[in-house]
């Protein structure tokens, strides 16, 4: 009988410790955070030999939203229509930096604009869920050298 009481007391004490040690945050505190950001890019001139430019830049965002993002690029001419140039997408480094070989734009109406689209992403940052928003940017493309 004494043994059964000790077992019951030990079980109740253990249950109390577990219940007290495992506090759950109320659902009101567990909000999802939405984070935006910006993109910077440097486009040097196009090489006459290769017809490409090695552009570099960085996605700048807080709360873990700058690293490992997918970027897509598109050229637009002066009238705002997309050109026939096809560009590949790249993935940023963990710190948000990227390096991409851009082909020379082809179209009828210079000057050209490079538009960058950073895809959204869901991640966790310090135990909270974070929704990384879509980021868009645009940059003028330097004139290609004339031969």
Is residue 92 domain-resident?
A: yes
Q: How many other β-carbons are positioned within 10 Å of the β-carbon of residue 82?
A: 12
pLDDT of residue 60: 94
pLDDT of residue 142: 85
Peptide bond between residue 111 and the one before it cis (omega within 30 degrees of 0): yes
- Which CATH number fits the domain that encloses residue 43? 2.60.40.10
pLDDT of residue 74: 92
Q: Which uninterrupted H or E stretch holds 4?
A: helix 2-21
pLDDT of residue 23: 39
Judged by phi (left if over 0) then psi (alpha if -120 to 50, else beta), residue 127 lies in left
Instruction: Give average pLDDT by consecutive 10-residue segment, the chain, 147 residues.
Output: 50 42 43 86 88 92 89 90 82 94 83 92 89 93 67
pLDDT of residue 66: 87
Is residue 41 domain-resident?
A: yes
pLDDT of residue 15: 43
Is residue 19 domain-resident?
A: no
Residue 82 belongs to domain spanning: 33-140
- Number of structural domains found in the chain: 1
């Amino acid at each position: 009988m004494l043994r059964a009481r000790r077992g019951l007391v030990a079980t109740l004490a253990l249950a109390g410790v577990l219940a007290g040690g495992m506090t759950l945050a109320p659902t009101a505190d567990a909000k999802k955070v939405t984070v935006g950001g910006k993109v910077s890019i440097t486009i040097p001139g196009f090489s006459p030999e290769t017809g490409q430019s090695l552009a570099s830049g960085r996605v700048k965002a807080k709360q873990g939203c700058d690293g490992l993002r997918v970027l897509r690029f598109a050229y637009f001419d002066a009238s705002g229509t997309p050109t026939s140039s096809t560009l590949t997408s790249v993935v940023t480094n963990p710190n948000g930096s990227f390096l991409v070989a851009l082909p020379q734009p082809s179209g009828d109406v210079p000057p050209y604009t490079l538009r960058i689209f950073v895809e959204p992403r869901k991640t966790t940052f310090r135990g909270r869920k974070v929704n990384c928003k879509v980021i868009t940017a645009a940059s003028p493309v330097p004139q290609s050298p004339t031969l």
